[in-house]
Amino acid sequence: MVNLEPLVAAIADEDRRLRALLDGIPAERRDRPVGEGIMSPKETVGHLAFWDGFTVRFFAAKLVGQVDRDEKFDFERLNREQIRQLRSRPWDEVLAAYDAATAELLRFLGARWRELSADERECFLTPLRHRRHHRLLLARSLRGPQAPPGRRQEQA
């Protein structure tokens, strides 16, 4: 069972960790992919903003009966379109969208938590996991290739 307070605290912690990571990225590296097949920091932030916003809109509509249970979403297409649009947007605008999506997600959880079923509440672990996944992927990519365990001591 998912409880509101620990979930909100975990999302806030992931936000804090991502921001600390982003603060260490020079402006000239924000738009560049950090590894093969890995989004740039700007694309990562915009990607998270889009999906968190989508999650809130989806569940808000679902709570008032405006979601067709049989409706299928082409998530890959939506993701490709979003990434393409992000590339032309300035960093500050993308970061502001992320800030707004984070605030909206936390606001939605606080305001609508009691209306969600147990299964729906479980679904809100996905944005948390999604944020963590992309933060860790970005952090590993920014560090670059790592020496195999034990190699660093041998080189020292």
Give the residue extent of every domain in the chain.
4-155
Tell the CATH topology of 4-155: Four Helix Bundle (Hemerythrin (Met), subunit A) (1.20.120)
Confidence of residue 66 (pLDDT cuts 50, 70, 90): confident
Mean pLDDT of 54-65: 93
Confidence of residue 153 (pLDDT cuts 50, 70, 90): very low
- DSSP notation for 94-116: HHHHHHHHHHHHHHHHHHHGGGS
CB 100 within 8 A of CB 48: no
Give the pTM. Answer: 0.85
pLDDT of residue 154: 33
